[in-house]
């Protein structure tokens, strides 16, 4: 398994759908995964360090996990089938270790809230990933409105002013 991190969020210029760009920690390959606007918002808010008086869905999931004595040890982006990525959340509770199936976007949002590591396979990075030269443009996906390079405070202010429509429409 290869450790990855959230490199950025982007907007697919063709479909106008949000994309989370995952980059290998010890390299330059990235894995773009198209996600829904709600999940993109949850990831963006956590990356910006935004907090709310009441827990949002992914905050609630992280609190439930901790409250039940569990710890998210890692998230594994395991495979892609019919253009759908699959992930597993590896959880430890006491002496028991178990894995829960999850959408990558939800697992990433929870992992960011619990400071858990993200991993994927070399095969996925080789098959679905791309090598980056320009960190602001990845295979037709561009970092949203120049958000790369912003400080946490600048990103927080940008997100406060952002219209959810800016992340695209969700079409189930």
Give the tens place of pLDDT for each residue, 118-141: 999 999 998 865 555 444 444 444
The pTM (predicted TM-score) of the whole model is 0.77
Q: Which residues contact 43 (CB under 8 A, 6 or more apart)?
A: 6, 9, 20, 35, 105, 108, 109, 112
Where does the pLDDT of residue 70 fall: very low under 50, low under 70, confident under 90, or very high at 90 and above? very high
pLDDT of 170: 38
Q: How far apart are the first and last CA of the chain?
A: 31
Where does the pLDDT of residue 58 fall: very low under 50, low under 70, confident under 90, or very high at 90 and above? very high
Cβ atoms of 73 and 92 closer than 8 Å: yes
Give the tens place of pLDDT for each residue, 71-90: 999 999 999 998 899 999 99
pLDDT of 119: 98
Mean pLDDT (whole number) for 101-108:
97
Tell which CATH classification among 3.10.690.10, 3.10.180.10, 3.90.1200.10, 3.20.20.70 matches the domain 2-163. Answer: 3.10.690.10
pLDDT of 59: 94
Where does the pLDDT of residue 158 fall: very low under 50, low under 70, confident under 90, or very high at 90 and above? low
Give the tens place of pLDDT for each residue, 161-171: 555 445 444 33
């Amino acid at each position: 398994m290869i450790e990855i991190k959230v490199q950025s969020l982007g907007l697919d210029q063709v479909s106008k759908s949000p994309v989370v760009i995952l980059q290998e920690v010890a390299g330059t390959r990235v894995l773009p995964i198209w996600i829904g606007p709600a999940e993109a918002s949850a990831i963006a808010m956590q990356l910006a360090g935004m907090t709310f008086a009441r827990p949002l869905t992914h905050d609630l999931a992280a609190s439930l996990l901790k409250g039940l004595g569990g710890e998210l040890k890692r998230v594994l982006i395991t495979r892609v089938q019919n253009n759908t990525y699959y992930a597993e959340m590896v959880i430890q509770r006491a002496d028991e270790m178990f894995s829960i199936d999850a959408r990558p976007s939800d697992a990433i949002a929870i992992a960011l809230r619990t400071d858990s590591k993200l991993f994927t396979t070399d095969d996925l990075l080789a098959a679905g990933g791309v090598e980056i030269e320009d960190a602001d443009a990845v295979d037709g996906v561009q970092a949203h409105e120049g958000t790369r390079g912003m400080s946490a405070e600048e990103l927080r202010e940008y997100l406060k002013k952002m219209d959810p429509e800016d992340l695209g429409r969700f079409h189930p």
